[in-house]
Homo-oligomer: A and B are copies of this chain.
Amino acid sequence: MKDSSVQYSRKINYYETDQMGIVHHSNYIRFFEEARLMLLDEKLMDYAKMEELGIIIPVTFVECKYLVPVHYGDEIVIDTCMTKFDGIKMEVSYRIYQKDSEVLCTTGKSGHCFLDAEMKPIRMKRRFPELYEKLKGLVENIE
C-alpha cells in the first residue's frame, strides 16, 4: 500500500463549515481533489504540466461516506491511494482521519478518465507510454 499512496494534511477553514457547525459535506469532494492532485504531482507528474501537455483527467464518479463529522480548526489527514488503472480509466480511494487519531471520519472513491483538450479519450499506452508505465506501476504496488 505504501509506495502508491500519499498522506495529505490540511486544516479545516471557517468558510468550509455550515450552520450545522460542521464541514459541509460537499467540501470533502474538494478535499479528495486536493489529495488526488498531490498524489499525481508526487507519483506521476505535476498536474498543471499534464494539462499543458493536453491531458485532462475529469471525474467520472465520486462516492463518499460520512462517518464522523469534522469541525473548523481540525487538522485532517487524507490517506490517498490509486486502486485501479486499465490504460483508459483509473480509480483513487481516500480515507480521512483526524490528525494524531485513529478515528476514521470519511471514506471515499473517485473514478477518472484521460481526455485530450478536445475532450476525446486518450489511449495512454500509445500516446504517453512513460506515464502509462508509471500509472501501472502505482497500481501493481498495491498489496
Instruction: Indicate if the CB atoms of B66 and A59 lie closer than 8 Å.
Output: yes
Number of copies: 4
A101 at the interface (CB under 8 A from B): no
A117 to chain B, nearest CB (A): 10
Encode contact with B along A14-51: 1 for CB under 8 Å, 0 otherwise: 11011111101111011001100100000000111001
Q: Closest residue of chain B to A32, judged by CB?
A: B26
Docked CA distance A33–B14 (Å): 8
Instruction: Indicate if the CB atoms of A25 and B65 lie closer than 8 Å.
Output: no
Instruction: Indicate if the CB atoms of A58 and B14 lie closer than 8 Å.
Output: no
A10 to chain B, nearest CB (A): 9
Taking CB atoms, residues of chain B closer than 8 Å to A48 are 71-73
Taking CB atoms, residues of chain B closer than 8 Å to A37 are 13-14
Docked CA distance A47–B15 (Å): 13
* CB under 8 Å from chain B, chain A span 95-128: 119
Instruction: Indicate if the CB atoms of A26 and B33 lie closer than 8 Å.
Output: yes
Instruction: Indicate if the CB atoms of B60 and A62 lie closer than 8 Å.
Output: no
The one of B26, B51, B71 in contact with A29, judged by C-beta atoms closer than 8 angstroms, is B26
A139 at the interface (CB under 8 A from B): no
Taking CB atoms, residues of chain B closer than 8 Å to A63 are 61-64
A6 at the interface (CB under 8 A from B): no
- Sample of 8 A–B contacts (CB below 8 Å): A13-B30, A13-B33, A14-B18, A14-B19, A15-B30, A19-B22, A19-B72, A29-B29
